[in-house]
Structure 1
């Protein structure tokens, strides 16, 4: 889950969340805008959100299930061609 989504779903301001993880409000703003926090801060965010915002949520990673589906279709097509 994205940090902004988690925070706004709980009605928290950036300032309130910043205080919860001991950073400046501007840092929370940067994290929500796409900057990846340092590992220590990612850990604080993970703990403060009860694990709902995970380290991987700060990266635009591909959908693994979607990749597996594509890979499966490619394998089926290769088998049909043989």
Structure 2
């Protein structure tokens, strides 16, 4: 491992696979959120871009419901036309 930066609180190393390892002043490994915050503060870690909000599918569902309602309204008219005797 190659030493990248050393401070009184921690040491940052770059591993052979290009990832980073962080050790505290007592040479104990630092992991999790604390490691991420240290690497981000040093500019070694780029935070991922936030995912865009999902597009709501509700309008498509509403239009499908409207089509079903329109068909239901049209159906009684067709039945009424069939019930009347033709002259």
Give TM-score scaled by structure 2 length: 0.27
Give the structure with higher Rg (CA): 2
Which structure is higher in helix share? 1
Which structure is higher in strand share? 2
User: Quick one: higher RCO (CA 8 Å, sep 6+), 1 or 2?
Assistant: 1
